[in-house]
Amino acid sequence: MTPAKQQSSPVSTVYAGPSADSVQNPLPSATAVETAKVLAEVELPTISKGPIIRRPRVVAAVENLGLEARAVARVQTLAEKYGRGPVMLAMPGRKMALVLHPEHVHRILEESPEPFATAETLKRHALKHFEPQVALVSHGAERSRRRETNEKVLDHQQAIHHMAEQFLPAVREEAQTLLKQVDAAGGTLDYSSYYKAWFRVVNRVVLGDSYRDDTELLELMETQRARGNWAFLRPVDTEARDDIHTRIKQAVAKAEPGSIAAYMAQMQDRGESATSPDEDAQQIPQWLFAFDPAGMSSYRGLALLASHPDQLEAVRQQIDQEAQQHAPLLPLLRATVLESLRLWATTPMILRETTREVEFENGVMPEGTTVLIFAPFFHRDEKNLDYAHTFSPEVWNHERTREEWPLVPFSSGPAVCPGRNLVQLLTSNFMAEIVGQRSIDLLSHDLEPGRLPALLNNFSLKFHLSER
């Protein structure tokens, strides 16, 4: 399928001259009432769910009340009124702009981190609770070298990580353990069991096999991420944060064979790391953090397959075709994960912050403006996408280009998630072990294939697995 319609526009340019002024030539500004509705219907539900770690009860409430669909509808209303935008929100003491046009999504992500910095203020306050030196909230030379380390270690350009054959035995073993547990429980698979099995994989891949059952680090990370949900409203527990980094530095020093930690240690020994050992250790919490939404998206992906038998059969055929490969690519399962992320974005608010005034067609965005790209609006806008509410893995059959509608499950541009390919490698192979060996029925939800819900609560999803 293709977008029902796409709007074309001239390419905008970064403002560089001294003559224009953001006060004399401002962007359109939403009224106080419109801003209040954006805060109440878009930002509040999203933040309440937990931007750093999900709050299960709030997720359930947002799903039951249909608040995610209301958020998309609210942005659609602003887009109808203000057109291309961006539109400045009338927030006292804070400059914030909401992006309304796909051309601007491409532009902002392509021009990150300068002049659209990834180190946005609220994001920095949230992540300082467990990873203050991570590349995501760094800028300038610090960001460059930290980003370089992330890209090298995560092998971000390669669909198959060069250590894939070392990672995948852990994936298969933990999936088999999970299936045995499910069989012993009468065939019921719930998210708690899936999450625990998934993070046994994560611990083994990132830190090493001996960390398989290291729930202390996981719990410590979850506690600090929960504090991060409150950003600057909660003081930093520096002792707990230091404990996380100490444990991770010990794992890197231990360098268990077959782990990412070992590869990072090798880079340090060879002088190939662009960052210091302390900085290296601060990149790893972000990976542990990011593997949480990866688990959510793959679990929701199982729900998509259980509700679309034809797609499930095609996936199984591909699993059989690639069964003899040491590191299967499994493009249909990767597309399933991408569709899960499109339909139910785990990073619904992509934030940037302007480092200088930036000129758009409709006016000048001031320096220090938080730029908000609300991904669900672009992913689920039925006015422009004929597949907005359907499971359409075919849209991922190729690398998407700037000319296409912005679908940004892992962001895009120079600041695209460096672990996107590793996430897809691990999730697709983990899912393959489940759907390749078991029949799967969705117990908790009745998903209508032609109109998938605006939010799917992963915490309440339940399946019944049986022998094929």
First-to-last alpha carbon distance for the chain, in angstroms, is: 32
Give burial (CB, 10 Å; 0-12/13-18/19+) of 219: exposed
Verify cis geometry, omega within 30 degrees of 0, for the bond prior to 285: no
Round to whole Å and give the CA distance between 351 and 359. Answer: 18
The answer to whether the CB of 213 falls within 8 A of the CB of 204 is: no
The 3-state secondary structure of the chain, one letter per residue: CCECCCCCCCCCCCCCCCCCCCCCCECCECCHHHHHHHHHHHHHHHHHHCCCCCCHHHHHHHHHHCHHHHHHHHHHHHHHHHCCCCEEECCCCCCEEECCCHHHHHHHHHCCCCCEECCCHHHHHHHCCCCCCCHHHCCHHHHHHHHHHHHHHHCCCCCCCCCHHHHHHHHHHHHHHHHHHHHHCCCEEEHHHHHHHHHHHHHHHHCCHHHCCCHHHHHHHHHHHHHHCCHHHCCCCHHHHHHHHHHHHHHHHHCCCCCHHHHHHHHHHCCCCCCCHHHHHHHHHHHHHHHHHHHHHHHHHHHHHHCCHHHHHHHHHHHHHCCCCCCCCCHHHHHHHHHHHHHCCCCCEEEEEECCCEEECCEEECCCCEEEEEHHHHHCCCCCECCCCCCCHHHHCCCCCCCCCCCCECECHHHCCCCHHHHHHHHHHHHHHHHCCEEEEECCCCCCCCCCCCCCCHHHCEEEEEEC
**Sign of the C-alpha dihedral, residues 165, 399, 104, 45?**
negative
The answer to whether the CB of 38 falls within 8 A of the CB of 98 is: yes
The answer to whether the CB of 270 falls within 8 A of the CB of 162 is: no
Determine phi and psi for 349, rounding to 5 degrees.
Answer: -110, 105
Round to whole Å and give the CA distance between 345 and 455. Answer: 9
Side chain identity, residue 207: L
Q: 143 among the known binding-site residues?
A: no
Q: Which residues are annotated as a binding site for heme?
A: 417
Q: Which residues are annotated as a binding site?
A: 417
